[in-house]
Amino acid sequence: MNKPIIRDTGTLDGVPYVRLSDTGNFSVFKTFDCGQCFRFDPSHREGEPYAVSGVAMGRHVTFREEDDGFTVVGADEKDFHTLWEKYLSLDVDYGEIDLAVISALDEEGNAVMRRAAEVSAGIRILRQEPWEALCSFIISQNNNIPRIKKIISALCENFGELTIDGRGKAFPTARALADAGEERLFELKTGFRAKYIADAARRVADGELDLDAVVRCDSYAEAEAELMKIRGVGPKVAACALLFGFGKTEAYPIDTWMKKVAARHFKSGPDPLKFGKYAGVAQQYLFYMERYMGGGEM
């Protein structure tokens, strides 16, 4: 696999940027449009290249598509190599992953996966901070993306600290939300999720749940069991958190979209175990294919 090449660096209105090429088939649009993170929104003007802006890793950042790569606004060369290259999974060979998921099933299933990989080319699994991913997917329960974003924005505005660059609010720490308490969280229209957020925050803040230890778990079942000790965290929320925040790419979240995929495209299955350590990538490809080819709205 080729490593991204830094073509240009500089500042734009006092904000550093890095322009990259040879980034494979990485797509800013697809990666940030498949429901895996909730703090980014489109930020380009009409007629300009597609861009999203938001907060991650305690920093405000913009990712903008270019003809031969993309630009990161809000980062210098060091930031790219130490933070964003890994965050965007640009250090992972997705060509190898595509071959693995396409060939994992029987002939019929392989044809479906080939189409899913083609439609979804450019998606990367983001490596988000574990606490943010866990809390975000607790909030996602029985919810839609606009409302999830609104709740998370309210939490950040009320309990988040200023980003390192001072251009936004970082995701609140577990201690901040634990100290806020269930009643205050409920006031921010989190609904029934307030008690689940409060329980998760308390466990993490008090050290009862060690998120770093969950990251290090060799067994997916063990990692899942640790997260499911939290009130309101079942297999689906745990799978989303583990996939998008803990590096467990074998996680395979099953929701209504994936049930549609199974019913529409497979006689039985697919069996996530056959995808092995890339089940989560296969899930994202199938989800994206169903969302666009099925004509549904999130």
Pick the CATH number of 5-91 from 3.30.360.10, 3.30.310.260, 3.30.70.330, 3.20.20.70: 3.30.310.260
Distance CA 169, CA 19 (A): 25
Closest CA to 241 of 119, 155, 154, 138: 138
Domain with CATH 1.10.340.30 in the chain: 130-245
- pLDDT tens sequence across 102-153: 999 998 899 999 999 999 999 999 999 999 999 999 999 999 999 999 999 9
> How high is the pLDDT of residue 296?
41
Q: Give the 3-state secondary structure of 62-101.
A: EEEEECCEEEEECCCHHHHHHHHHHHCCCCCCHHHHHHHH
Pick the CATH number of 130-245 from 3.40.50.10490, 1.10.340.30, 3.50.30.30, 1.10.490.10: 1.10.340.30
For residue 236, indicate whether it is catalytic: yes
**Longest Cα–Cα distance in the chain:** 56
- pLDDT tens sequence across 162-174: 999 899 999 999 9
> How high is the pLDDT of residue 297?
42
Closest CA to 145 of 293, 280, 42, 285: 42
Residues of the chain with pLDDT under 70: 294-298
- Tokens at 240, concatenated: 């989303």
Which of 86, 150, 195, 236 is catalytic? The answer is 236
> How high is the pLDDT of residue 12?
87
Distance CA 133, CA 233 (A): 13
Domain with CATH 3.30.310.260 in the chain: 5-91
Say what the pTM is. Answer: 0.94
Helix axes 193-205, 174-185, angle to 10 degrees: 150
Distance CA 134, CA 240 (A): 8
